[in-house]
Structure formats: structure tokens, C-alpha cells
């Protein structure tokens, strides 16, 4: 009945060894941000081409289904333009893509 609860001595020895612990964690590599999915990259490339941004971030916030995006664009092309017009410019560039989405969180600012 309790045979499944008894671990071999070698299991405890390997857990106590600092070297074995470091090997376990060396195989896991954490990134600060995950790589972009292909559709995120497509949107990123479109915006990069049109606005030559100083800062650009495209993130799928729909849980991976590609129906809602959070986009931040900081570009010199927005200097002297009100935020509403900045958003209209981005919406115009992405209008074919936006038609497929459920929602968009857009932040723009002049660089």
C-alpha cells in the first residue's frame, strides 16, 4: 500500500546535489518577452514600413486567436498631429486587417 510513497535513496541524493539542480534549471530559458506570432509580425512589418517608428509594439491580447491587439506606435510622423488623427492614420494603414478583428487597443505618440 505505501510502496509507491517510498523513494529510492538515489532520488534523494540527486535532489540534494547542487550540480543536478543547476542542470535541471539550465534547460529552461526564460525570455523577457515572447517572440511574435506570424500574424503579429505581419502587423508589425506593415506599421514599421508606413511610420518608421522609434518605438513599436504589437501584441495579441485575445489569448492567441488573433481577434484583439494592443498596438503602441511612437513615430516622428505624428509630430504636430492630434491623437485622433494619429489613430485615424494607423486605422487607415491597417483597415484590411482591422476588419478581421474584434477589438484594438491603440496608443500613439510623437517621437
45-63 per-position pLDDT tens digit: 999 999 999 999 999 999 8
What are 18-49's pLDDT values in tens digits? Answer: 555 555 555 555 666 678 899 999 999 999 99
- The answer to whether 40 and 60 have CB atoms below 8 angstroms apart is yes
For the domain bounded by 38-110, which CATH number is listed?
Answer: 3.30.300.90
Sorting pLDDT into bands at 50, 70 and 90, what band is 107?
very high
Q: Cα dist. 94→10, 46, 53, 58 in Å?
A: 59, 8, 15, 12
Q: What whole-number distance in Å separates Cα of residue 81 and Cα of residue 90?
A: 12
Q: Which residue has the cell 534547460?
A: 27
pTM of the model: 0.70
β-strand pairing of 55-60 with 68-75: antiparallel
Share of the chain above pLDDT 70, in %: 70
**Mean pLDDT (whole number) for 68-97:** 98
Average pLDDT across the chain, whole number: 84
| C-alpha cell of residue 66 | 488573433
Pairing verdict, β 68-75 and 103-110: parallel
* Domain locations in the chain as residue ranges: 38-110
User: Nearest CA to 68 among 99, 101, 38?
Assistant: 101
Amino acid at each position: 500500500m505505501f510502496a509507491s510513497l517510498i523513494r529510492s535513496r538515489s532520488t534523494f541524493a540527486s535532489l540534494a546535489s547542487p550540480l543536478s539542480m543547476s542542470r535541471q534549471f539550465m534547460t529552461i530559458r526564460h525570455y523577457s518577452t515572447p517572440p511574435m506570432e506570424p500574424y503579429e509580425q505581419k502587423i508589425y512589418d506593415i506599421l514599421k514600413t508606413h511610420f518608421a517608428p522609434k518605438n513599436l509594439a504589437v501584441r495579441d491580447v485575445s489569448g492567441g486567436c488573433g481577434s484583439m491587439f494592443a498596438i503602441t506606435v511612437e513615430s516622428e510622423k505624428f509630430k504636430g498631429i492630434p491623437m485622433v488623427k494619429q489613430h485615424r492614420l494607423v486605422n487607415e494603414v491597417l483597415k484590411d486587417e482591422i476588419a478581421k478583428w474584434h477589438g484594438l487597443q491603440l496608443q500613439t505618440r510623437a517621437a
